[in-house]
Structure 1
Amino acid sequence: MKTLAPTLAPVIPLKVTVAALTFRRPDGLRTLLHALGQQELNQMRPYILTVLIVDNDAAGSGRLTAEAFSANESYQLIYVIEPRQGIPMGRNRAMDDAPADTDLFLFIDDDEWPAPGWLDAMLTTRNMTGTDIVHGPVEPVFSPDGNPYFIQARVFADRSHLDGERIDYAASNNVMMDFRRVRAAGIRFDERMRFTGGEDFLFFNQASRIGFTISWSDAAIVFDGIPATRMTWKWALQRQFRIGNTFAVAARIQDDRWVRSRWLGIGLLRMGLGLALLPMLTFSPRYGWQGIAHLLRGAGIVVGMFGLAYEEYSPARLATA
């Protein structure tokens, strides 16, 4: 009797939506949409891709750039306008307008572009770990005319972990979520953080607190273009203060006395550590910068705990940036 070789059941493609907010960055958006069309598809991990662009400019300045990719064969393109300016408004609109059958939902920024194996690396880590959320690294790509000090000091260096390592945080610049579970849990980006930034810190912190698991995907790389305009002391110092301040804003929103006390303590400790490290500025750009970063983040936390919200993304501030 002839023995028939077993046949493998076909793998059902996942429905994947990649979303990006955009605000008057046509060149960055163009680079991103091109790179998303170059993603490597592994037949062991098949997917059907939708790319959702949320334009946070009420005038629709990104429409022509986005719609130039509407006929591509790699993904379905959806372009929408969210006229209420503010990052959490745009992120919530993206989740609201994702196709109803979306299994996995990803966020990436409009000044970033993914490596060709980015999406498959995300899927590989998800299959390996079984976690609800997968977060990956962001590698800076520096403008050739930028200040070399900021490269030496590793001002734009991202965190790093072992591949598949369980972590307790994520950010929306390179993340994938089990979208069915996110919708079932009803988690939203808090619109009270409309112009402060940090809404993603609060979102994933809340997800983690209700049981969502998060893993690191070391091969899921996205690149971040760093123009010379960011490689300045003014920009770098303001950014560190703002990051710390958003931790405090998020803690105040949670309205938990223990959380608020904890963050106030963290802010004071970071200020002390920063002051201790500042003398290293004279001989080590890297450790000197760590002193500055600790000091400013700590200061942002402390003043934030007393009610100051630094609105880096307010229309007035963006108009003068």
Structure 2
Amino acid sequence: MSQIPRRNAIEVDIAVCTYRRTELDRTLRSLAVLDVPADTKIRIIVADNDVSPSAGARVEAIRSAVPFDITYVHCPSSNISIARNACLDHATGDFLAFIDDDETASSGWLVALLSTAEATGADAVLGPARATYLDTAPAWMKRGDFHSTLPVWVRGKIDTGYTCNVLLRRRATSLTNARFNLALGRTGGEDTEFFTHMTRSGGAIAFAPGAWVDDPVPANRASLSWLAKRRFRFGQTHGRLLQENSRGAGLTRKLAVAGAKAVYCFAAAVVSSFLPIPRYRYALRGIMHAGVVSGLLGVREIEQYGTLESTSR
């Protein structure tokens, strides 16, 4: 664990929400060898979302191999929003970082996030989650990299974010009393809503391209059907958030735009039928815009993290 010179002492909590994942060991071991700025204190919070405290023994077994304090929190319910809120409640540092329980952090992950936060003054800093595929994944999926997570810029800024790789400035005004929506704890989209509300409250999101984590894609997610379901749910969440500030003619206009985008993307997929990567990219984008229409119409998000996905969140 190398030390990076730094001017001011800070405290950073790193949150890992977990649900029955053996990969948690690998995640914690990657955090154990992080480069850490000098005069920076690190604490890890593990929020166990299982009904029984199944991760407790795993955390105790690895505790001696990790040079940072680990706070274990049991928050039973199988609702990821409850686990994320438990991390917010137990965090005491200047910053709170989130990483998923199946990801591994690069050695420079935290340094890159903190450096960008210092340079930009942003309330949140996102890093890239780089998908790693099994050999059995479809060739078009691996070549097109359909699972990596990156921020989306709209008119030169980032309007929302994700929790698989992010650093939060805990005392930012835009995050005062911020919570993850319990109603979205099994559908997903709770992080999109959280960050959208943050930016609507005046918060800024920055991007640290060097703060990467590796995100393995299990076999049950390496399918077109899983991607389609996820994109549709993304669209539903975005549509519902658009609906919050839309009434009458404004809502009709947004429905028309989303519908037109869906039609265009599906048509482009047909035109690209002999080219797998563009075909699937257009088709999935069309499905996302169809989800936006669904969300604008008030249809509740589909539940993506039920029994079959319970060990793959």
Which bin holds the TM-score, normalised by the shorter protein? 0.7 to 0.9
Alpha carbon RMSD of aligned pairs, Å? 2.6
The list of structure 1 runs, each at least 4 consecutive aligned residues, that deviate by more than 6 angstroms after superposition, is none
- Residue 319 (structure 1) shift: 6.4
- Residue 309 (structure 1) shift: 2.1
Q: Does 1:194 align with 2:185?
A: yes
Q: Distance in 2 between matches of 1:18 and 1:262?
A: 42
Match in the other structure for 1:59 = 52
- Residue 111 (structure 1) shift: 1.6
- Residue 193 (structure 1) shift: 1.6
Pick closer, same or farther for the CA change 1:86–1:262 going to 2, 3 Å. farther
Match in the other structure for 1:120 = 111
Match in the other structure for 1:42 = 37
Q: Distance in 1 between matches of 2:252 and 2:42?
A: 44
- Residue 62 (structure 1) shift: 1.5
Q: Does 1:89 align with 2:82?
A: yes
- Residue 256 (structure 1) shift: 4.4
TM-score, structure 1 normalization: 0.86
Pick closer, same or farther for the CA change 1:157–1:283 going to 2, 3 Å. farther
Q: Does 1:76 align with 2:72?
A: no
Pick closer, same or farther for the CA change 1:10–1:154 going to 2, 3 Å. closer
Pick closer, same or farther for the CA change 1:269–1:66 going to 2, 3 Å. farther
- Residue 210 (structure 1) shift: 1.2
Q: Distance in 1 between matches of 2:253 and 2:63?
A: 48
Q: Distance in 2 between matches of 1:120 and 1:72?
A: 21
- Residue 125 (structure 1) shift: 0.8
Q: Distance in 1 between matches of 2:125 and 2:283?
A: 30
TM-score, structure 2 normalization: 0.88
Q: Distance in 2 between matches of 1:277 and 1:174?
A: 32
Q: Distance in 2 between matches of 1:242 and 1:10?
A: 42
Aligned length: 305
Q: Which moved more, 1:260-269 or 1:16-25?
A: 260-269
- Residue 151 (structure 1) shift: 1.2
Match in the other structure for 2:142 = 151
Q: Which runs of 5+ in 1 are unaligned?
A: 1-8
Percent identical:
27
CA contact (8 A) 1:152 1:285 kept: no
Q: Does 1:288 align with 2:279?
A: yes
CA contact (8 A) 1:266 1:298 kept: no
Q: Which runs of 5+ in 2 are unaligned?
A: none
Match in the other structure for 2:299 = 308
Q: Which moved more, 1:116-125 or 1:223-232?
A: 223-232
- Show CA shifts across 1:183-217 (max 9, x none): 86211112222322111111111111111111110
Q: Does 1:218 align with 2:209?
A: yes
Q: Distance in 1 between matches of 2:71 and 2:96?
A: 14
Q: Distance in 1 between matches of 2:66 and 2:306?
A: 37
